[in-house]
Amino acid sequence: MSFARLSLSLVGVVGVVAVALAGATIWLLVTQPVTVADAVAQGEVSPLVRALAGVLYDAFAGILKYL
């Protein structure tokens, strides 16, 4: 595999991960605005990360149901 193909594959994977995190963050802002507001106001990221991980896990579990 050439360097150009490897770099394009790596950029593609990073892009997919970034889109998934952005989508989950927007979903979290819409569905749990109080959690996001509290996390931002207190400066703690652990509740936000925990909620974000839960959203991503639920989405991944939903996708696996179809496979």
Q: Map out the domains of the chain as residue ranges.
A: 17-66
Residue 1, pLDDT score: 62
In this structure, which amino acid lies at residue 49?
Answer: V
d(CA 57, CA 20): 11
d(CA 48, CA 5): 36
Would the pLDDT of 12 be above 70? Answer: yes
Closest CA to 23 of 12, 34, 15, 35: 15
Whole-prediction pTM value?
Answer: 0.65
> Per residue in 22-39, pLDDT tens?
888 888 889 888 888 888
Q: Where are the beta strands (DSSP E) in 1-67?
A: none
Total number of residues shown for the chain: 67
